[in-house]
Chains A and B, each alone.
Chain A
Amino acid sequence: MSHLKIEELLDLAEGARAEATAPHLVSCAYCREQLADLQAAMAAVAPGGNEIPEPSPLFWEHFSARVREAVVVETASKPGMMDWAAGWLSWKVSAPVTAVAFLLLVTLSVRNAHAPAVSSETAALVTVAEAPADTAASSTDDPSWALVTDLAADMDWDAVVEAGLAAPTGSVDRAVFDLSADERRELQRLLKEELARSGSSGV
């Protein structure tokens, strides 16, 4: 003889199913006892004798006002840095960025391995330092240039950086990052050419 299942007993106890539909109950004392226990427990916890204490009538308005205030605070801080950071750090964004950064790193490493021991940034500085003397000479005739040189004469490198006049760190890398593949190849060729020339002239 198989007893009633849990679901069947619960349906009977909750009244979702009439006892007449479970003839097994008539012949099984165990299931009858189980059902009686369930019904007794249900009666004990029934809402009739177990109401929640009703808060003061003023509570509900006060509660709504508290939620409203919390929502206002939430709304004010919603477009904050945390959300931005969460979006930025999500894999959808970070994965491609990481991949591109890795490719850039590999590209730069390969280039440095084949190039003489001078970085592109240093090469650019060398190129600027070696600007033709006639350019400097001709600019001295310009009164506005003279004013700039007068003003900048007392500035050391740290002051220049602090004033934001120097190229920010990584700007060369970012510029390279924005180049197309063809442009990068062309840049690589020009740099090699320039470095080879500098090397042959003894710099």
Chain B
Amino acid sequence: MSSSIALTIPHTSPSKPDWTVTVVRQEPSQPAVVDGELGDADLVAACLGGQPGAFDLIVERHRRSIYQLCYRFVGNHEDASDLSQDVFLRAYRGLNRFRGQSSIATWLYRIGVNVCLNRVSAKKPRMESIEERQHIDSRGESASESVLRAERAVRVRAAVAELPRKQRAVLVLRVYHELSHQEIAEIVGTTVGAVKANVFHALQNLKKLLGEEAL
């Protein structure tokens, strides 16, 4: 913050000081955003106002959930990382179109689902192997239990990847991101009834894909 001081010293009365001090403070036009408690609307406004760090905060708050969403679609770290970056870049480009009618999270999920669906329709996802999952926390399990759990998880993800696009999207958002039917409807641009129907059919299809033994 900068300030300037103006002194006015008249010479009419030497015995009695008769001067005034004026302090003019100039507020910085673009303060850096450091407060992590800013609301969605404030953050977006700060971004659009060109305040440094505002978009960083959005990324920091939502990067994990967006990465996990992307991972559920593509099934490996590299692609999930690239897609997540793409999601945030698209969000940045479209910030001026964000109206605040939904939360930033919902808005980012919407971009994420679109990006992921476009990607998986263009490229068959490369699901990671069990070996790649070895860094999952498996404390309290025996080695064989851990391997079995990892195998099962890979099979489930492979089955989810086989689902039709919309069923996969609503299932991932419902089961793994615990969003409400209403939020999912906003994200995928449909009705609550259609979301429920998609979840229902996704679960039915998963049962067929996984078979009795996996259930």
Interface residues of A (CB under 8 A from B): 6-7, 9-11, 13, 37-38, 40-47, 49-55, 59-60, 63-64, 66-68, 70-71, 74
Q: Is A45 within 8 A of B128, CB to CB?
A: no
Q: How far is the CB of A82 from chain B (nearest CB, A)?
A: 12
Q: In the complex, are the beta carbons of B59 and A53 less than 8 A apart?
A: no
Q: Identify the closest chain B residue to A56 (Cβ).
A: B135
- Of the candidates A38, A50, A74, the one having the most CB atoms from chain B within 10 angstroms of its own CB is A50
Give A70 to B59 CA distance when docked, in angstroms: 12
Contact indicator B136/A41 (Cβ below 8 Å): no
Please judge, given known A-B contacts A9-B200, A53-B132, A70-B85, whether A44 and B156 are in contact too, CB under 8 Å.
yes
CB–CB B85/A67 < 8 A: yes
Residues of B within 8 A of A66 (CB): 85
Q: Does B149 contact A (CB under 8 A)?
A: yes
**Further contacts, 17 of them, CB under 8 A, given A49-B152, A64-B60:** A6-B197, A7-B200, A10-B200, A13-B203, A37-B204, A42-B203, A44-B210, A46-B175, A50-B156, A50-B157, A50-B176, A53-B71, A54-B136, A63-B84, A70-B88, A71-B89, A74-B92
Docked Cα-Cα span, A7 to B67, in Å, equals 30
Q: How many A-B contacts if CB must be within 8 Å?
A: 105
CB distance from B46 to the nearest CB of A (A): 14
- The 6 A-B pairs with the shortest beta carbon distances in the complex, nearest first, are A41-B203, A40-B215, A41-B207, A6-B200, A7-B196, A67-B88
Nearest CB on A from B135, distance (A): 6
How many residues does chain B have at the interface if contact means C-beta atoms less than 8 Å apart?
45
Taking CB atoms, residues of chain B closer than 8 Å to A9 are 200
Question: Contacts of A46 on B, CB cut-off 8 Å?
Answer: 175
Please determine whether B199 and A10 come into contact, CB atoms closer than 8 angstroms. yes
Smallest distance from the beta carbon of B207 to chain A beta carbons, Å?
5
Q: Which of B135, B160, B197 contacts A45 (CB 8 A)?
A: B160
B64 within 8 A of partner (CB) = yes
Does B214 lie at the interface of the complex (its beta carbon under 8 Å from any beta carbon of A)? Answer: yes
Chain B interface residues (CB < 8 Å from chain A): 55-56, 59-60, 63-64, 67-68, 71-72, 77, 81, 84-85, 88-89, 92-93, 128, 132-133, 135-137, 149, 152-153, 156-157, 160, 171, 175-176, 193, 196-197, 199-200, 203-204, 206-207, 210, 214-215
Q: Which residue of A lies closest to B72 (CB)?
A: A52
Is A41's CB under 8 angstroms from B215's CB?
Answer: yes
A37 CA to B176 CA, complexed, in Å: 19
Residue among B85, B136, B196, B204 making CB contact with A53, cutoff 8 Å = B136
Q: Which partner residue on chain B sits nearest A42 by CB separation?
A: B203
A84 CB, nearest partner CB in chain B, Å: 16
> Given A43-B215, A64-B59, are A38 and B200 neighbors across the interface (CB < 8 Å)?
yes
Contact across chains for B207 and A37 when beta carbons are under 8 A apart: yes
CB distance from B41 to the nearest CB of A (A): 20
Nearest to A59 among chain B residues (CB) is: B81
Residue of B whose beta carbon sits closest to that of A40: B215
